[in-house]
Amino acid sequence: MAQQITLIGGGLVGALLAQQLAGRGFKVDVFEKRPDPRVAGFVGGRSINLALAERGLQALREAGLADDVLQRAVMMRGRMVHTRDGRSGLQRYGVDDSEVIWSVSRGALNMLLLDAAEAAGVNFHFGQSLVSADFDAERIQLADDHGVSRTLDAPVVIGADGAGSALRAAMNAHLPLGERVESLGHAYKELEIPPAGQLARDLVGSSGGHDQFALEPPALHIWPRGGYMCIALPNTEGSFTVALFLPAQGAYPSFATLPDAHAARAFFRDDFPDLLPLIPDFIADYDGHPVGTLSTLYLDRWHLGGRALLVGDAAHAIVPFHGQGMNCGFEDTVVLAALLAEAPDDTAGVFAEFQRIRQPNSDAIAAMALENYVEMRDSVADPHFLAKRALGLQLAERAPQHFMARYRMVTFTHLPYAYAYERGRAQDVLLEQLLRGSTDAASVDLSAAVDTLKATLPPLPDLRHG
């Protein structure tokens, strides 16, 4: 008889994990508090477009879904940085178009994953919220939208129900998990650039757009302004999802000092003058979207023996500035499904091993995501940062077995996040030593720099690209 696994949460990570477990012979039931998005339409959760990178793509390949997802995605070659005076320039993520990331719609991806999981035999139960869990009795209590409750046997339960996880709360009540939530102190507000056909032709031409896009489509657009920024990610139908990131409180500019959409529009007129005309429904967008919070979640324990486990954002929610939250969660599903397939009768050992493998990596990407916020809002326009970036590109070209930018390690390989973090720190120290405070990469003797690199750092491990 197939082992029964109960999953709480039918979002991206929950649906993909369910599909992978069902494909390995497990009997999987998924309980999701929201209605079926394929029937009711996609609602809830952050709707910022998601950046799909190699780690997430590899998980989708293993699930047989990568090609279907890429057909619904838009390529992003790099960061298109927009300066205050209206100039822009592309900073590539990788060396060529084999190293790109993809902008995907959270809702469309979720519905595709639900279809795939159902096709694999997963049973979904929508409109079912977790009320409580009795881990000793191996039972959970659920309630529907009308408050009608029921109790079910759940000998093994896995929580993929996001940063506000109900299962995590139940586990923490049973045995404290050492939970810490660190607020970034910054928040975000979503806006939208419509397809080019809804804007004046001369406006689109001057902004660099073409075809149905108001901006150059194969890029993540950034308007860095020091302590704050805007970003825009392309959608397949030609629109862009825009996010304004600002301090939540404090001196101007902050969300606290922008009391309404009219104040926000005046702020945009001063700080984002080239972006504002591309958002014709600015007032309605600003008033219609809530201010989203940004935090990092840390737990000492992800599981209760072999009875309950947390994965994805339920275990390690991070801020979105490295575009790795979904990718990290998808990587979780690959590791966990493989471990459970090897030892289906030893969930206690599997859950402990899963945390041992994944926690150092989730801690590393959490740290890198926080650092990347500073880089995106400030460093991308800093001359010293640009000099380090230029020198790093030269070293990577001359000595590819010894140097790879940390962003490339994180985004385009399967090297563990923890390794990428530590190697990136060592490489940054070396770049600082080579530049000696200079803002001109050409001032460095490249041959001598390569010799120093090889003498200082060991070769990189085998680089597993997709």
Q: What band does 375 get if pLDDT is binned at 50, 70 and 90? A: confident
Mean pLDDT, rounded, for 314-342? 97
Say yes or no to pLDDT of 33 above 50: yes
Per mean pLDDT, which of 39-53, 89-103, 445-459 is the most reliable?
445-459
Whole-prediction pTM: 0.94
Q: Give 3's DSSP letter.
A: P
Sheet with 78-82, edge to edge strand ranges: 88-92, 78-82, 220-224, 229-234, 240-247, 180-193, 292-298
Q: What share of the chain is helix, strand, coil (3-state, %, to 5)?
A: 45, 20, 35
pLDDT in tens, 213-233: 999 889 999 999 999 999 999
Element (H, E) at 24: none
What stretch of H or E contains 438? none
| pLDDT at position 48 over 80 | no
Q: Kindly state the tokens that stand for 166.
A: 């109900």
- Give me the chain's average pLDDT, please: 94
C-alpha–C-alpha distance, residues 97 and 260, integer Å: 42
DSSP readout, 188-228?
Answer: EEEEEEPPGGGS-HHHHHHHT-BTTBSS-SSSEEEEE-SS-
SS3 letters across 338-360: HHHHHCCCCHHHHHHHHHHHHHH
pLDDT higher for 46 or 133? 133
When pLDDT is cut at 50, 70 and 90, the band that residue 282 belongs to is very high
Q: Quick one: average pLDDT of 398-420?
A: 96
Confidence grade of residue 374 (pLDDT, cut at 50, 70, 90):
confident
Residue 59 clears pLDDT 70, i.e. is over it: yes
Please report which confidence band the pLDDT of residue 451 belongs to, taking 50, 70 and 90 as the band edges: very high
Coil, strand, or helix at residue 378? coil
Residue 19 pLDDT > 70: yes
Measure the CA–CA gap between 37 and 42, rounded to whole angstroms: 4
Answer whether residue 60 shows pLDDT above 50: yes
Q: What phi, psi does 281 have (nearest 5°)?
A: -100, 40
As a whole-number percent, the residues of the chain with pLDDT over 70 amount to 97
DSSP state of 374: H
For the beta sheet containing 4-8, the strands, ordered from the edge strand earlier in sequence to the opposite edge, are 123-126, 27-32, 4-8, 157-159, 308-310, 303-304
Give pLDDT, residue 18.
98
List of long-range contacts for 21-28, beta carbons under 8 Å, 24+ apart = 21/337, 21/340, 22/117, 22/120, 22/121, 22/122, 23/63, 23/120, 24/337, 24/340, 24/341, 25/344, 26/2, 26/340, 26/344, 27/2, 27/3, 28/117, 28/121, 28/122, 28/123
CA distances 433 to 16, 87, 100, 426, 452, Å, are: 44, 31, 30, 11, 10
The four Cα atoms 263, 268, 269, 273 give a dihedral, to 10 degrees, of -170
Q: Are 158 and 8 in contact (CB under 8 A)?
A: yes
Q: What is the pLDDT of residue 217?
A: 86
